[in-house]
Amino acid sequence: PSATPSTTPLSGTNAPKFGTVIPNRIFVGGIAANTTDAELKQFFSAYGAVKDTKIIADRGGVSKGYGFVTFENQEDADRI
């Protein structure tokens, strides 16, 4: 096997290998099983304008205990 440089356009960057990067979005773990998207949005609204929230659930609709909060601007997301 010879070592040849990668021709992948993203080589040399810190881009993730999997998933989609959504600007102003943060990961939130340790969410109580009975927390709703509305409650999550209300809580994080204290830190800036929240555009969207998403709690991840399994196929049965049971919360997996984590989710994502998307802020209107990057400054609010960075502050968290």
pLDDT in tens, the chain (80 residues): 545 444 444 444 565 567 788 899 999 999 999 999 999 999 999 999 999 999 999 999 999 999 999 999 999 999 88
SS3 44: helix
- Please identify which residue in the block is written with the tokens 């998933």: 19
* SS3 readout for 46-71: HHCCEEEEEEEECCCCCEEEEEEEEE
Give residue 66's Cα distance to chain centre: 10
What residue segments make up the domains of the chain, in order of their start?
25-79
Query: What CATH superfamily classification does 25-79 receive?
Result: RRM (RNA recognition motif) domain (3.30.70.330)
